Amino acid sequence: QVQLVESGGGVVQPGRSLRLSCAASGFTFSSYAMHWVRQAPGKGLEWVAFTSYDGSFQYYADSVKGRFTISRDNSKNTLYLQMNSLRVEDTAVYYCARDGLRFGVHWYFDLWGRDTLVTVSS
């Protein structure tokens, strides 16, 4: 079954860190670029970060640059998002998403995970 399953969300105090994971199955994970997208409660979608299929390139939204790090372990079919210096405004549901193009990037997401909720609150 082709799917992405996120984990690692929870409640954390401002300034602390959290690491999200996204386990892929049912497809050749190492062939696809991956993204993280988030959605604050009652708000729209916000792109967060990108990693190339081989992990050699990473791009970030300005809102998280310098605080978040996207990475992947193709041997474990897993995508990560290390979130440091968390802020209240980082509170959101976080989705991992697969780019639609193998061995490249076409900036559309054809497979989404089920989401994991991150709440930043004192």
Partner 1 sequence: QSALTQPPSASGSPGQSVTISCAGTSSDVGGYNYVAWYQQHPGIAPKLMIYEVSKRPSGVPDRFSGSKSGNTASLTVSGLQAEDEADYYCSSYAGSNIFVFGGGTKLTVL
Q: Which amino acid, one-letter code, is at 42? A: G
8, 20 Cβ separation under 8 angstroms: yes
Residues that bind partner 1 (CB under 8 A): 35, 44-47, 50, 59, 61-63, 95, 100, 106-110, 112-115
Whole-angstrom distance, CA of residue 45 vs CA of residue 85: 21
Provide, rounded to whole angstroms, the least separation between the CB of residue 44 and partner 1: 4
Provide, rounded to whole angstroms, the least separation between the CB of residue 23 and partner 1: 15
CA 98 centroid distance within chain: 10
88, 14 Cβ separation under 8 angstroms: yes
16 vs 114, beta carbon nearer partner 1: 114
Provide, rounded to whole angstroms, the least separation between the CB of residue 64 and partner 1: 11
44 vs 122, beta carbon nearer partner 1: 44
17 vs 70, beta carbon nearer partner 1: 70
32 vs 109, beta carbon nearer partner 1: 109
Whole-angstrom distance, CA of residue 77 vs CA of residue 74: 5
Provide, rounded to whole angstroms, the least separation between the CB of residue 47 and partner 1: 4
Helices (H) and strands (E) in the chain, counts: 0, 11
